[in-house]
Amino acid sequence: MKRMYHYATVSKALDQLNEKGFTCDFNRNADMIRKNPEKFEIVHVYRYEGESDPGDEAVVYGIKSTSGKKGVYVAGFSADSDLETAQVLFDLSIRGR
C-alpha cells in the first residue's frame, strides 16, 4: 500500500524514510529499476514543489524490492534528470494504486 507524505523539504522526507529502514540509494542503482521494474514496489511517495522555480520540483519514492531491500529514489524535473527511470517509477506508482 502506497502512502503519501507531506514534509517541508526533500531532506526531511529522506530522513523520515531512512528512520523507517529505507537506506538503499536507488539513484545509484537506477539501472536495476529500469531493467527489472517488476521486482520493485513503491511503498511511499512524497512530492515536493519548489516555491517559485519549477526546476526545484522533486518526487521522493520509498521503494521496496522483492528481495526485501528498501531504499529511496529522488526524481527531479531538471534538464539533467534521469527521465527514463523517473518514467518507470511513475508507471509503477500508477500500477500500485
- Find the distance separating the first CA and the last CA of the chain, reported in whole Å: 8
pTM comes to 0.79
User: Along the 97 residues of the chain, how does pLDDT read in single tens digits?
Assistant: 455 556 678 888 899 999 999 999 999 988 898 899 999 998 988 887 766 555 567 889 999 999 999 999 998 765 555 677 777 887 777 555 5
Q: Three-state SS for 35?
A: helix
Q: In this structure, what DSSP letter does residue 97 have?
A: -
